[in-house]
Amino acid sequence: MGTCRLEHRKCRFRPSEGDIFILVFSFADRNSFHEVVRLRDQIAETKLQIKGSKVVPMVIAGNKCDLAQEERQVNSEEALRMFDTARDVPTSKRRLKDS
Protein backbone atom coordinates (compact mmCIF):
# COMPACT_ATOMS: atom_id res chain seq x y z
CA MET A 1 0.00 0.00 0.00
CA GLY A 2 1.40 3.39 -0.95
CA THR A 3 0.91 6.51 1.08
CA CYS A 4 1.51 10.12 0.15
CA ARG A 5 1.42 13.15 2.42
CA LEU A 6 1.27 16.74 1.25
CA GLU A 7 4.26 17.71 3.34
CA HIS A 8 6.42 14.97 1.76
CA ARG A 9 6.37 15.85 -1.93
CA LYS A 10 9.02 13.24 -2.78
CA CYS A 11 6.63 10.32 -2.35
CA ARG A 12 5.67 8.11 -5.27
CA PHE A 13 2.01 7.86 -6.01
CA ARG A 14 1.16 5.06 -8.42
CA PRO A 15 -2.58 4.89 -9.05
CA SER A 16 -2.00 2.12 -11.59
CA GLU A 17 -0.90 -0.22 -8.79
CA GLY A 18 -3.81 0.36 -6.41
CA ASP A 19 -7.12 -1.47 -6.27
CA ILE A 20 -8.85 0.72 -3.69
CA PHE A 21 -8.03 4.24 -2.56
CA ILE A 22 -8.62 6.22 0.62
CA LEU A 23 -8.15 9.97 0.24
CA VAL A 24 -8.36 12.34 3.20
CA PHE A 25 -8.59 16.12 3.22
CA SER A 26 -8.97 18.63 6.02
CA PHE A 27 -11.91 21.02 6.20
CA ALA A 28 -9.39 23.42 7.77
CA ASP A 29 -7.02 23.30 4.76
CA ARG A 30 -8.24 24.27 1.28
CA ASN A 31 -4.97 23.05 -0.30
CA SER A 32 -5.58 19.52 0.98
CA PHE A 33 -9.09 19.66 -0.49
CA HIS A 34 -7.78 20.68 -3.93
CA GLU A 35 -5.07 18.00 -3.74
CA VAL A 36 -7.67 15.29 -3.05
CA VAL A 37 -9.76 16.51 -6.01
CA ARG A 38 -6.65 16.35 -8.21
CA LEU A 39 -5.72 12.86 -6.95
CA ARG A 40 -9.28 11.59 -7.44
CA ASP A 41 -9.24 12.76 -11.05
CA GLN A 42 -5.75 11.35 -11.65
CA ILE A 43 -6.80 7.96 -10.29
CA ALA A 44 -9.96 7.92 -12.43
CA GLU A 45 -8.04 8.84 -15.60
CA THR A 46 -5.33 6.25 -14.92
CA LYS A 47 -7.90 3.51 -14.34
CA LEU A 48 -9.74 4.56 -17.52
CA GLN A 49 -6.53 4.12 -19.52
CA ILE A 50 -5.68 0.77 -17.92
CA LYS A 51 -9.07 -0.88 -17.44
CA GLY A 52 -11.36 1.17 -19.65
CA SER A 53 -13.45 2.28 -16.67
CA LYS A 54 -13.40 5.25 -14.29
CA VAL A 55 -15.25 3.23 -11.66
CA VAL A 56 -12.74 2.82 -8.85
CA PRO A 57 -13.36 1.70 -5.26
CA MET A 58 -12.59 4.89 -3.36
CA VAL A 59 -13.31 6.47 0.00
CA ILE A 60 -12.90 10.22 0.39
CA ALA A 61 -12.95 11.46 3.96
CA GLY A 62 -12.99 14.98 5.32
CA ASN A 63 -11.21 15.52 8.61
CA LYS A 64 -11.97 18.34 11.06
CA CYS A 65 -15.69 18.43 10.21
CA ASP A 66 -16.44 19.34 13.82
CA LEU A 67 -14.85 22.79 13.45
CA ALA A 68 -17.04 25.86 13.62
CA GLN A 69 -17.89 27.28 10.19
CA GLU A 70 -15.63 30.31 10.66
CA GLU A 71 -12.64 28.01 11.30
CA ARG A 72 -13.16 26.04 8.09
CA GLN A 73 -11.64 26.75 4.70
CA VAL A 74 -13.96 24.20 3.03
CA ASN A 75 -17.65 23.85 3.85
CA SER A 76 -19.57 20.58 3.86
CA GLU A 77 -21.87 21.48 0.99
CA GLU A 78 -18.91 22.33 -1.26
CA ALA A 79 -17.24 19.01 -0.46
CA LEU A 80 -20.40 17.00 -1.09
CA ARG A 81 -20.98 18.82 -4.41
CA MET A 82 -17.39 18.25 -5.55
CA PHE A 83 -17.27 14.57 -4.72
CA ASP A 84 -20.82 13.73 -5.79
CA THR A 85 -20.53 15.35 -9.25
CA ALA A 86 -21.66 12.80 -11.87
CA ARG A 87 -19.60 10.00 -10.38
CA ASP A 88 -22.41 7.61 -9.46
CA VAL A 89 -20.73 7.32 -6.09
CA PRO A 90 -22.76 7.18 -2.91
CA THR A 91 -21.95 9.99 -0.49
CA SER A 92 -22.51 10.12 3.21
CA LYS A 93 -21.98 12.90 5.70
CA ARG A 94 -21.09 11.43 9.08
CA ARG A 95 -19.13 12.40 12.10
CA LEU A 96 -17.07 9.73 13.82
CA LYS A 97 -18.69 10.65 17.13
CA ASP A 98 -22.14 9.97 15.60
CA SER A 99 -21.28 6.50 14.28
Note whether residue 44 is domain-resident.
yes
Q: What is the pLDDT of residue 25?
A: 92
DSSP three-state, residue 63? strand
Q: What is the pLDDT of residue 7?
A: 53
- Give the closest residue to 60 by CA, choosing from 24, 95, 84: 24
Which domain, by its residues, includes 67? Answer: 29-86
Note whether residue 14 is domain-resident.
no
Has this prediction a pTM greater than 0.75? Answer: no
Q: What is the pLDDT of residue 1?
A: 39
Per-residue pLDDT of the chain in tens (99 residues, 90 and over written 9):
344 555 555 567 777 777 888 899 999 999 999 999 998 888 888 888 888 776 788 888 888 888 888 899 998 888 888 777 545 555 555 555 554
How many structural domains compose the chain? 1
70 contact partners, CB below 8 Å, separation of at least 6: none
Note whether residue 19 is domain-resident.
no
